Amino acid sequence: MKLSVELVDLIFSFLVSHCGTLLTCSDIPELSQIVERHLYHYITVHFQSHSLCDSFYTSESTIPILVSLISENPRILHHVRVLRIRVILDHHYDFELERDLDVKQDLDNFAKTLLLFPALKCIELETSKKRPFSWPDVFRAALEDRLSLPILKELHIVGNQDFPCSLIDNRENIEDLVVSARGGFLDAEPQVCVSTEATLPQLKSLALLSLPYRQSFLPSIIPHAHRLRSFKCASSAVKLLPEFLGICSKTLNKLDIDFLHSDCKFQVSFGG
């Protein structure tokens, strides 16, 4: 019995996180085209300090691989739905002026490639937790362009990074936001954050997995969260729960609380 293409496609859609299975199935000529769609559903691109290139992290950049894959098979670009951009910094590099210049140059060079992805539904920005990082200008411009794609609904911000308010301001398409960041929205642009014209209550789901250090975080995010349906808070962000209940309790229908490392623990010391 031969299954329909639609049914096979649906079956493989459940396997997007099982890359080993997909890679194996992609070797079968009858399945390769269907599998390809799901194989490239979620890709991670690494950027790292050049001083780390010989370390245990990685020994080669993934950018040439991506460029090579795209040049040989441009269809890949249309299959990528989730793009994870991961920055790994050298924590031992202390020269302030030259700090992260190599990584930022690589990111700026990647900007042209980033603009080629037409069907992204989610972008994940992940940086190191130990060191603050700011996105370079050329890359940031390309990123903001992709964040305006109507089909892009989800943005993840992870690590110790500063992210400009403009990433979510005025973007009606971004409905799901995950923040696990120590940096937070840039203080440098408070006028954008508080402007009612620039902010939309567009977020349907918000996950705060840690509490950003910056004081401007809460006033920056709250204008976007008045119609939240789903809210997840974890760790130190649990203390923000009352703030969000105050603004979105009427629309909220899903709540997820992770008490790990929150202050709400119950502790007993044994004697002896």
Partner 1 sequence: MIFSIRIVSSKFLLVVDDATYPELLDFMSPTREVEHLPELSPVPPNLQQLTLRVVIYVEGDFQPTHYVSYLPAAIKAINTFASSVRHLTIELDLGVGCLPSYLALVDFSPLAALGALSIPRIDLYVHTDTRPPAVTLASLLSSLAPYDDVMKLIEEGKLVIHPEETAPDYLREEYLTLRDLLRSHKNVINS
Identify the DSSP state of 3: P
Stretch of residues binding partner 1 (CB under 8 A), selected from 15-23, 128-136, 138-146, 196-204 = 15-23
Residues 82, 121: Cα–Cα separation, whole Å:
6
Judged by CB under 8 A, the residue of 50, 79, 84, 99 near partner 1 is 84
Q: Which is nearer to partner 1, 33 or 58 (CB)?
A: 58
Phi, psi angle pair for 191, to nearest 5°: -65, -30
Contacts of 238 (CB under 8 A, 6+ apart): 257, 258, 259, 262, 263, 264
State in angstroms the smallest separation of the CB of 196 from partner 1: 23
Interface residue with partner 1 among 21, 31, 42, 201 (CB under 8 A) is 42
State in angstroms the smallest separation of the CB of 225 from partner 1: 13
- Cβ neighbours for 172, distance < 8 A, ≥ 6 positions apart: 200, 202
| φ/ψ (deg, to 5) at 74 | -60, -15
Tell me the two tokens of residue 46: 């690494």
Report, in Å, the least distance between residue 174 CB and partner 1. Answer: 16
Does the protein bind partner 1 through residue 55 (CB under 8 A)?
no
Q: Which element (helix H / strand E) includes 47?
A: strand 42-48
Q: Which member of 11, 23, 28, 119 binds partner 1 (CB under 8 A)?
A: 23
256 binds partner 1, rule: CB under 8 A:
yes
Binding mask 196-215 for partner 1 (x = CB under 8 A): -----------x--------
CB atoms within 10 A of CB 269: 5
Q: Which of residues 144-183 bind partner 1 (CB under 8 A)?
A: 156, 178
Helix 101-114 with 137-147: angle, nearest 10 deg: 30
Q: H or E element: which one contains 87?
A: strand 82-88
Give the interface segment with partner 1, choosing from 3-11, 36-44, 138-146, 214-222 (CB under 8 A). 36-44
CB of 27 to partner 1, least distance (A): 8
Query: Which positions lie near partner 1, rule CB under 8 A?
Result: 16-20, 22-23, 26-27, 39-46, 58, 62, 65-66, 68-69, 82, 84, 156, 178, 207, 232, 234, 238-239, 241-242, 245-246, 248-260, 262-272
